[in-house]
Amino acid sequence: MKKLTIVIPAFDEEEVLPSTLQRLLKIENNLITAQTINPDSNIIVVDDGSTDKTWSLITEANKRDSHVAGIKFSRNFGHQNALIAGMTEAVKTADVIVSIDADLQDDPDAIPAMVHKFLAGTDIVYGVRNNRDTDTWFKRTSANLFYKTLNLLGVKLVQNHADFRLMSKRAVQTLLQYKERNLFIRGIIPMLGFKSEKIYYKRTPRMAGKSKYPLKKMLAFAWNGITSLSIAPVRTVLLLGVFASLLGVIALLYSFISKWMGLTVHGWSSLMISIWILGGFQMISLGIIGEYIGKLTTETKKRTRFTIESKIG
């Protein structure tokens, strides 16, 4: 039988973690009882620098049940790095790994169906939400815009899929070969090329606590996804530069013809507008190019993705 490890990134999740662990342990126990997975199957919770009682709850859970293990970061390194840390530890012994957020808005009852697809020969099973009823209008609209934008830029994402997924050992080992620091996991996994399927589920509201992804973080996450997986923004800047240059040539020809025909008109408005527009294009261009240079700087330094303060279990 195959060993299953469930990886949970957690940041200030003291309000939901006890019920989350109870529910996930029950799901694993049911699979063990049905002789679907190995009795050594476990859960790894990665404490991403929490400031509340998250780590003490993980410690207490491990004392009650050895199937719960924990990794504690020295500070907050981010959700994606927490996932990588959990998978790096899990892949040492597990045959199949499921990642799911601590708030359980993604339905954990879909895990048995994911496991059965894995046993049938599928390496990656995506958990895909079949509705966005719990989202605000803004979040629903911005999410759809995000997926459409990335598709236009050539990045193939699984729409309405976040980080709830099952991966086989070899799929995780291949993912961990991607060493970039600016990691966008949900964009890289479809690039791995292994056999994949989808499981649809209904997303539910948080049981307690508040979202760890406010608007500012969501926008930063989306921008990181675009710049990590596509150079299309830089090419767009190039096209805008070419277009602006062509307009400049046309304006130059127009001014010569106007002067030759004696139709020159003195106007400061058009001059100032053109200066501000071109100046804006230049600032935007420098900003986008600077973003890529900054990412290159981060990658060449090869700093560690995270620092582990302690482990348990």
Retrieve residue 21's tokens: 């662990």
Residues 218 and 244 in one domain: no
Q: Is residue 309 part of a domain?
A: no
What pLDDT is attached to residue 9? 95
Among 187, 205, 230, the domain boundary falls at 230
Amino acid at position 220, single letter: A
32 within some domain: yes
pLDDT at residue 35, as a whole number = 93
Residue 286 and residue 209 in one domain: no
Q: Which two tokens stand for residue 107?
A: 């339905």
25 and 89 share a domain? yes
Closest C-alpha among 118, 3, 15, 129 to residue 69 = 3
Number of domains making up the chain? 2
Could you tell me if 258 and 202 lie in one domain? no
Structure tokens at 17: 């973690």
Residue 264 belongs to domain spanning: 232-301
For tokens 């791995």, the residue is 192
Domain shared by 186 and 248, yes or no: no
Helix (H) or strand (E) holding 27: helix 17-33
Contact between 55 and 19 (Cβ < 8 Å): no
* pLDDT number for residue 130: 82
The predicted pLDDT at position 175 comes to: 93
The answer to the question of residue 313 being in a domain is no
| 258 and 160 share one domain | no
DSSP 191: G
The amino acid that residue 231 corresponds to is I
Q: What is the pLDDT of residue 210?
A: 60
**Claim to verify: residue 271 and residue 155 sit in the same structural domain:** no
In-domain check, residue 312: no
Point out the domain boundary residue: 189, 209, 230: 230
pLDDT in tens, the chain (313 residues): 899 999 999 999 999 999 999 999 999 999 999 999 999 999 999 999 999 999 999 999 999 999 999 999 999 998 889 999 999 999 999 999 999 999 888 899 999 999 999 999 999 999 998 876 666 666 667 667 777 776 776 667 777 788 899 999 999 999 999 888 777 788 889 889 899 999 998 877 665 556 555 556 666 666 666 666 666 676 677 677 777 767 766 766 766 676 677 665 565 456 656 676 676 677 777 777 777 776 777 667 677 888 999 999 8
